[in-house]
Chain A
Amino acid sequence: MRLEDLGEAVAGCTRTVEYLPGEYLLRVGAPADECFLIEQGRVALEVHAPARPPEVLLTLGPGDLVGLSWILPPYRWACDARAVQPVRVVAIDARRVRERCDADPRLGYHLLQGVLRAAIDRLQATRLQHLDVYRDPTS
């Protein structure tokens, strides 16, 4: 997606941020106050389970939105997001955007459509991933 796909709600609420490989953009459970649109580089969405190495669920690249949980209460991240390459993102001030959307539902509706599109694409991809289509057909 492009920033424009989120509509006027995000205008003036952005800044450019860079991350080095290994740095975290999001941490599970932390307040979801800022989300990110990747301009350059790759980011891994990870889940951690006790006594196991972190598992990468999905990697995101240019045009992908990092972080969806900022749109709904309790506004806390559901997984970690780690830069795997040097990454440049547009950081979006989620608190301000939410306030604007609360004040102007028209802006909010447009923004929700953009975020929902990203969420649906990700859901479809996860379903396909879950189907495990390349496994041995006889197993």
Chain B
Amino acid sequence: MSAAPEATWVPRRYRVDAVRPELNDTVSLELAPAAGEAPAFEPGQFNMLYAFGIGEAAISLSGDPADRARLVHTVRAVGPVSRALAGLAVGASVGVRGPFGAGWPMSAARGRDLVLIAGGLGLAPLRPALLRVLADRAHYGRVAVLAGMRTPREVLFRAPLATWQGRTDLEVEVTVDRGDADWSGHVGVVTHLIPQLELDPRKATAFVCGPEVMMRHTAERLLTVGLEPTQLFVSMERNMKCAIGLCGHCQFGSAFVCKDGPVLRFDRIARALAVREL
């Protein structure tokens, strides 16, 4: 599902309805359209958010795809645009173009076991996928979420993770790179948890999102436990300008991340992913 033609070029004005602090440098923004409904989106898609007077950045949708009243975006302040977005107050205006790109293959994964593997902020684009699965739970097999975070204080979506951990129809494991005195959970990288799942590789599909080096290691580990490369999907990030496949800014190998991705099947990009600085 891509944006209607007018939504591709002209930002639509949205109002910040709520600002949820997530981490020191990360907030979730709930955006309501100035008029009408928010557009439908697919889990894994992104919008171009325009901080008026400053610029645009690609930001994934992190809310419930069934909710047409608002859009939710989780923004980490790393540069001028994301800092301006993360600093918006309730009532402020923001421009939105989108939704863009190819999301997670939700339909193809129906009937299969599904493992969602997130690193840090990578949990944000996976959240809509999990919410879609939970709304349609009977149509998926085993569902597992593995989340790797930096420290216990930097666990993104702590409250939803705790709720998901309480469900009997989900396996949810959170690990941190560095623990502290109060942390009794897993310590170590997220890849270490993969063999413990004892996946049936013939039945499993994996969606992976996080920093590129984490996704590379995760993919290697998944392949080692026997997952088919065609059942492994990663969400790529590249600098974006037009977001509609015209400017070439986001080119990655032969793919345009904005149009062919951001979610790409691993076997189609494995070679490009191994090339340094691409």
A131 to chain B, nearest CB (A): 6
What total count of A-B pairs have CB within 8 Å? Answer: 66
Q: Say whether A11 faces chain B, with CB atoms less than 8 Å apart.
A: no
- Inter-chain CA distance A134–B121, complex, in Å, is 8
Contact flags (1/0) for A55-71 with B, using CB distance below 8 Å?
Answer: 11111011110000000
Contact check, A133 vs B213: say whether CB atoms are below 8 A apart. yes
Contact check, B179 vs A134: say whether CB atoms are below 8 A apart. no
Most buried by A among B186, B188, B198: B188
Contact check, A136 vs B214: say whether CB atoms are below 8 A apart. no
The size of the chain A interface, using a CB distance under 8 A, is: 26
Contact check, A134 vs B213: say whether CB atoms are below 8 A apart. no
A86 to chain B, nearest CB (A): 13
Q: Say whether B169 faces chain A, with CB atoms less than 8 Å apart.
A: no
Residues in A108-139 with C-beta less than 8 Å from chain B: 121, 124-125, 128-129, 131-138
Residues in A44-84 with C-beta less than 8 Å from chain B: 44, 53, 55-59, 61-64, 84
Contact flags (1/0) for A28-40 with B, using CB distance below 8 Å?
Answer: 0000000000000
Contact check, B119 vs A59: say whether CB atoms are below 8 A apart. no
A35 to chain B, nearest CB (A): 18
Contact check, A133 vs B78: say whether CB atoms are below 8 A apart. no
Q: Say whether A27 faces chain B, with CB atoms less than 8 Å apart.
A: no
Q: Say whether A42 faces chain B, with CB atoms less than 8 Å apart.
A: yes
Q: Choose the segment among B130-138, B189-197, B201-209, B258-266 that binds chain A (4+ C-beta atoms closer than 8 Å).
A: B189-197
Contact check, B192 vs A138: say whether CB atoms are below 8 A apart. no
Which residues of chain B have C-beta atoms less than 8 A from A138's C-beta? 78-79
Contact check, B186 vs A59: say whether CB atoms are below 8 A apart. yes
Residues in B153-210 with C-beta less than 8 Å from chain A: 154, 175, 177-179, 181, 183-189, 191-193, 195-196, 198, 210
B76 to chain A, nearest CB (A): 8
Q: Say whether B105 faces chain A, with CB atoms less than 8 Å apart.
A: no
- Inter-chain CA distance A131–B214, complex, in Å, is 10
- Inter-chain CA distance A133–B183, complex, in Å, is 20
Which residues of chain A have C-beta atoms less than 8 A from B149's C-beta? 134
Contact check, B188 vs A53: say whether CB atoms are below 8 A apart. no
A97 to chain B, nearest CB (A): 23
Q: Say whether B120 faces chain A, with CB atoms less than 8 Å apart.
A: yes
- Inter-chain CA distance A137–B181, complex, in Å, is 26
Contact flags (1/0) for B96-136 with A, using CB distance below 8 Å?
Answer: 00000000000000000000000111000000000000000
Q: A133-B120, A134-B120 are in contact. Are A59 and B213 (CB under 8 A)?
A: no
Question: What residue in chain B is nearest A131 (Cβ atoms)?
Answer: B213
Which residues of chain A have C-beta atoms less than 8 A from B193's C-beta? 61
Which residues of chain A have C-beta atoms less than 8 A from B198's C-beta? 63
Selected contact of A53 from candidates B181, B187, B196, CB within 8 Å:
B181
Selected contact of B217 from candidates A42, A84, A124, CB within 8 Å:
A124
Which residues of chain B have C-beta atoms less than 8 A from A58's C-beta? 187-188, 192
Contact check, B187 vs A61: say whether CB atoms are below 8 A apart. no
Q: Say whether B211 faces chain A, with CB atoms less than 8 Å apart.
A: yes
Most buried by B among A42, A59, A121, A135: A59
Which residues of chain B have C-beta atoms less than 8 A from A84's C-beta? 184
Contact check, B192 vs A125: say whether CB atoms are below 8 A apart. yes
Which residues of chain B have C-beta atoms less than 8 A from A121's C-beta? 192
Most buried by B among A42, A133, A136: A133
- Inter-chain CA distance A125–B150, complex, in Å, is 14
Show the binding face of B for A, using Cβ within 8 Å: 25, 78-79, 119-121, 148-150, 154, 175, 177-179, 181, 183-189, 191-193, 195-196, 198, 210-211, 213-214, 217
- A sample of 13 inter-chain contacts (CB < 8 A) reads A44-B187, A56-B187, A57-B187, A58-B187, A59-B185, A59-B187, A59-B188, A124-B217, A125-B191, A134-B211, A135-B150, A136-B25, A137-B78
